[in-house]
Chains A and B, each alone.
Chain A
Amino acid sequence: MRAVIAEDSVLLRIGLVKVLEMAGFEVVAETSDAEGLLAAVEAHRPELALVDVRMPPGFTDEGVRAALMIRQESPGTAVLLLSQYVEERYAADLLATQTRAGVGYLLKQRVADVEEFIDALRRVASGGTALDPQVVAQLLLRRGGGPDPLARLTPREREVLALMAEGRSNAGIAAELVVSESAVAKHINSIFAKLDLPQADGDHRRVLAVLRFLDGTP
């Protein structure tokens, strides 16, 4: 699978190329700014774009804006954003652009755990989701106004929901919580029932549904 990297720190870029190659990707382009990224995606139509949020010239959220454009204009390219800090609205913006391609939003420091990071890369490239636990924590943050649907969940169900929102599979959740896969499936059914969500097939769609619900948009 082909991938492009947009990251302005040279040190990190070299490391990221190594990690992508370890994960079995072919890095077809490396750039250091949003414009270069858009041009590279246009030229190569890669399966995955690995994007830093803060890039020149403004060093604010160029990466997010570029990612949104990629999802609009190149729906076959999955986008994994790397950020110094997490902001759940970026994630909500990204998830709102519904395409078949995967999407991810991770704290930059997660790349240090190479195996887990490679998992996330593969998941996103194959159309799945990878959200940082901190993003999920922000999404689960209770906002004032209106009844709180999460109040109906048991603590265990909340844990399952959080891992589900991160993009983990049932097997992944089962391993994380040290329970059986069937127990996870049971929890998930119960969550969907309590949140009045019709069950959908596929990891990506269920995460979307959960996140949409948490975000308060129908």
Chain B
Amino acid sequence: MAIRGGAPRHAYTWITAHAPWSAWAWRNTTFTAAAIPAALPVLLGLTATVTAPGPGRLPPLLVLLLGPLLTRLQRSRFRTLLGLDVPRAEREGGRFSPLAAARWLRSEAAWRQYGYHLLVSPLAAVAGALVVLAWAFGAAATCVYGWIWILPTDTRTPAWSTDCDAVTVGGVLLLLLAPWLAALIARLDSVAAASLLGPNRARELERRVEDLAESRAGVLDAADLERRRIERDLHDGAQQRLVALAMNLGIARATLTDLPAEAKAVIDEAHRGAKEAIEELNNLVRGLHPAVLEDRGLDAALSGIAARAPFPVELTVDIAQRPGATVEAVAYFVVSETLANVAKHARAAHCRVHAERVPAAGGPAHGEALLRITVTDDGVGGADPARGTGLVGLRKRVGSVDGTIMIESPLGGPTVITVELPCGL
């Protein structure tokens, strides 16, 4: 319903669509004329207040009480006559109670609606009256030749015929113009109604953003929960069975010493296979969501990855208060993925991982603390986020919790990756 004027092409289609002989002409006319009765209570109230001050406090009060009813009336006018649905403002109507009424009167939506009834509605009524008059005068003037004979002959001046020509032309023009006038008024009225009777768009967007943020957090949490469930299932199911199998094969290998060489080789092979499967499963589980992260937090979990790295890692973790589980999972993923990248590409001899909780960059107004993770390596540098799939995955995972990632990697090194995650999620 927003007005989109400006483009000449648009204006042209609008003019042709609202031509006097179109159905729209009649709809708009009825609609604008209907503004008159709708505005009557307000007009009467205003007139009463102006002409009879003093005890005349009743009319404004009446308007105040009639507000919701008038809103409903106007909305119905738009819907039935124009086919336009003005969306309802938030939390309107419902069960009547003095408290609800007081809350309603204090709300910003209520005052926008009164603004419409007191300001726009009278203007629309006046405009509606103008349209009606335009039709009436136009019709009257167009058939001036038809009824001029009724007038007494002595009132006709010698110039009557030219006068009557002008009046006829004027009437036709007025008839042609009236629908467009009605369309213009209807347009203005509907724009005003949308912004005053409908919900506040900015407020609505804000609420939508809030809803979206909430649902995204829900999705992230659900994914995280799912990872934890899979990890637990693997741990308590497949992994235990594999360990038991490998152990039994180990027992067989240790006790059945007098077997033929081929049988021994088969047992050896099976034993090695089982151990490799355990190792693979461990790596898989680690990437999912390690149990140690859940039980003991980031410090413990990061020690694990740092210790497994194929180069010396210096680790400092300075987090007094644990961040949310989802953020911890992302932080763990960041360090794990970054160290894997360093091992694969950087040819580094040494790496430093630092995790700390810092106040938000936006100051206390922003509120939330940040979890900052810095990974520095002394490798060859040249890490390009545009190419490495690892870095792209990292960026996506960090972005999923509104985190930021900064990669400084000049050719020849050193590479510094800084990730900041909001702790609140």
Contacts and interface: CB of A to CB of B under 8 A. Distances in A.
Contacts of A144: 314-316, 352, 354
A112 B246 contact: yes
B372 to A, nearest CB: 14
A14 B250 CA distance: 14
Contact of B295 (A19, A61, A108, A117): A61
B143 interface: no
A141 B235 CA distance: 26
B254 A85 contact: no
The secondary structure that dominates the B interface is: helix
B304 interface: yes
Contacts of B239: 84
A114 B253 contact: yes
Interface stretch (B92-100, B190-198, B270-278, B410-418): B270-278
Contact of A54 (B254, B255, B291, B315): B291
Task: Pick the most buried of B278, B307, B312: most chain A CB atoms within 10 A of its CB.
Answer: B307
Contact of A109 (B235, B282, B352): B282
Given A109-B278, A141-B306, A85 B250 contact: no
Contacts of A114: 247, 250-251, 253-254
B251 A142 contact: no
Interface residues of A, number: 36
Contacts of A59: 232, 236
Task: Pick the most buried of A18, A54, A117, A142: most chain B CB atoms within 10 A of its CB.
Answer: A142
B254 A141 contact: no
B47 interface: no
Interface string B240-272: 110110111111011100000000000000010
Interface residues of B, number: 41
B303 A113 contact: no
A137 B249 CA distance: 28
A137 B253 CA distance: 29
B101 interface: no
A84 to B, nearest CB: 6
Nearest to A16: B247
Contact of B304 (A18, A87, A113, A143): A87
B381 interface: no
A143 B316 CA distance: 6
B173 interface: no
B209 interface: no
Task: Pick the most buried of A111, A112, A115, A134: most chain B CB atoms within 10 A of its CB.
Answer: A112
A144 B303 CA distance: 12
A114 B315 CA distance: 34
Contact of B254 (A15, A22, A86): A22
B174 to A, nearest CB: 87
A90 B120 CA distance: 75
A14 B241 CA distance: 12
Contacts of B66: none
Contacts of B313: 141-142
Contacts of A88: 303, 307
B291 to A, nearest CB: 6
B308 interface: yes
A186 B27 CA distance: 105
Nearest to A83: B292
A43 interface: no
A89 to B, nearest CB: 7
A94 to B, nearest CB: 15
A138 B251 contact: no
B303 A141 contact: yes
B141 to A, nearest CB: 93
B314 A142 contact: yes
B219 interface: no
A175 interface: no
B300 interface: yes
A111 B308 contact: no
Contacts of B250: 111-115, 117
Given A22-B255, A85-B290, A114-B251, A134 B307 contact: yes
A12 interface: yes
Contact of A112 (B249, B306, B354): B249
A109 B275 contact: yes
B307 A138 contact: yes
Interface string A137-172: 110111111000000000000000000000000000
A85 B316 contact: no
Contacts of A113: 250, 275
Nearest to A138: B307
Contact of A142 (B248, B295, B312): B312
A60 B291 CA distance: 8
A14 B251 CA distance: 12
Contact of A138 (B303, B314, B354): B303
Contact of B251 (A11, A19, A140): A19
B308 A15 contact: no
B296 interface: yes
Nearest to B314: A142
Contacts of A86: 304
A175 B240 CA distance: 31
Interface in A87-110: 87-89, 108-109
Nearest to A150: B312
A60 B247 CA distance: 24
Given A22-B251, A84-B291, A145-B316, A112 B278 contact: yes
Contacts of A115: 250, 254
A89 B300 contact: yes
A54 to B, nearest CB: 7
Given A18-B251, A85-B291, A141-B303, 7 more contacts: A12-B247, A85-B304, A109-B282, A111-B246, A141-B307, A142-B314, A144-B352
12 contacts: A9-B236, A12-B247, A19-B247, A59-B236, A60-B295, A61-B296, A84-B239, A111-B243, A111-B246, A114-B250, A114-B254, A144-B315
